[in-house]
Amino acid sequence: MKILAAMSGGVDSSVAAAVLVREGHDVHGVYMKNWINEENIIGHCPWEEDIVDAEAVAKQLGIPFRVVNLMTEYREKVVKYLLEGYQAGITPNPDVMCNREMKFGVLWEWAQEHGFEAIATGHYARKEGDRILRGADSNKDQTYFLAMMQPHQVHIAQFPIGHLLKPELRDLAREFGLKTAEKKDSQGICFIGQVKMEDFLRTFVPDNPGPIVNLDGKVLGEHRGLHLYTLGQRKGHGVASPLHKQAYVVVAKRSPSNELVVAIENADTPLLWARKAVLHSISSTGAPLHDERTLQAQPRYRCPAGDAAFRPLGEGRAELEYTEPQRALTPGQICALYDGERLLGGAVFESIQHA
């Protein structure tokens, strides 16, 4: 196959390209230039270094390489979504949207125009036919970030490293002699770099201070803007713990009164735990999710998927009822839906029903 390998300059996408070359495919490397930090946001935006590393690996592999400038599309499809979401008081996920709108959206359109049959990435995910399965390395599984992909995108996606454990991937990178073999994994916003979300948001959204209150309405401090906080957040809200081994956690954001609500965290903290939610913008990686069923729903990355009843409401909405209470379900966040190891699709939390 003629495959376009999205190369970020990291070890995962480097090995993905190397595996495809070894398998005999006609592989071309591409770096998606999405961001160059013109706003001078605090943090490290290593796009120049990443391009150098990606190009060096492509040269080692003997494959063509080019940089594709998608900065305009990234601002429109990912940054705008991110900022509008936070300004509306919800918690969006730019990494999920980057995959659907950019890698397997805008970049795929470019790839088709240049005769490519598929796009490969360094995601820890597996494919069987047109089904996406969790990556073999449970600590690195990234199928959550693929939850909003559509069937035609799944069809042309290749995940060459999904069968590997991370130590095995590092060993393979050394075996291939890749420049990125020892490069540390990035932890920043999708294709931007080591930039904290708070610093990113404060560059574009002005502070809007207001009171931090407890469940009884007592003022405990002042926040800098509701958009800078997330439900379930334990640290960084500025309210000190009252006693040893007790901590305040964010349980609500009241936009009309501009109040950030915190409470002492325990197994019964009001507003922190919930079993029921309404989902919207349901997206399926395969057959449409039209029928009532039991499945596993993962409310955020690095969180176990819980058993839940899925009840369609029509028009891309559904009710989700977990078997066990879930911590800090949050409007705007992505909910990935599974049948065992198989990724069924995803949706966005619309509202949460607290007991």
| 275: nearest Cα among 206, 214, 209, 328 | 328
How does DSSP classify residue 103?
A: I
In the set 45, 98, 303, 335, the catalytic residue is 98
Catalytic residue among 45, 190, 303, 335: 190
Q: Is the dihedral of CA 216, 221, 223, 229 positive or negative?
A: negative
Is 335 an annotated catalytic residue? no
Estimate the share of the chain in helix, then strand, then coil, as percent rounded to the nearest 5. 25, 30, 40
Active site residue 190: yes
Both tokens assigned to 173: 């990178």
Print burial letters for 122-136: b (CB count within 10 Å at least 16), e (below 16).
bbbbbbeeeebbbbb
Our measurement of the distance from residue 221's CA atom to the centroid of its chain's CA atoms, rounded to an integer in Å, reads 31
CA distance 325 to 305: 12
d(C-alpha 260, C-alpha 219), whole Å: 10
Question: Hey, which residues are catalytic here?
Answer: 98, 190
